[in-house]
Amino acid sequence: MGRITSNVEDEIIQRVDTLAAAEGLSRSEWVARAAIDRLAVEEGAAAVPAADRVPRHELDHAIQIRDQEISHLKEDLSWTRGELAERSRQHELLIQSIPLLLPQGRPEGFWAGMKRAIVGEPKKE
pLDDT tens readout for residues 38-95:
887 777 755 545 555 545 666 677 778 888 999 999 999 999 999 999 999 999 998 8
Kindly provide the b/e burial profile for residues 8-17, where b requires at least 16 CB atoms within 10 angstroms of the residue's own CB. eeeeeeeebe
Residue 28 binned pLDDT confidence (cut-offs 50, 70, 90) = confident
pTM over 0.95: no
Please give the tally of structural domains in the chain. Answer: 2
Residue 39 and residue 45 in contact, taking contact as beta carbons nearer than 8 Å: no
| Residue 49 covered by a domain | yes
Q: 73 with 31, same domain? A: no
Identify the domain containing residue 91 by its residue range. Answer: 57-101
Average pLDDT over residues 97-111: 67
Q: 61 with 41, same domain? A: no
Helices 27-42 & 10-23 angle (0-180, nearest 10): 90
Q: 49 with 63, same domain? A: no
| 45 vs 105: which has the higher pLDDT | 105
Over 80: is that where the pLDDT of 99 sits? no
User: Could you tell me which residues come within 8 angstroms of residue 106 by beta carbon, excluding any fewer than 6 positions away?
Assistant: 112, 113
Domain boundary among 55, 74, 91: 55
Residue 79 and residue 71 in contact, taking contact as beta carbons nearer than 8 Å: no
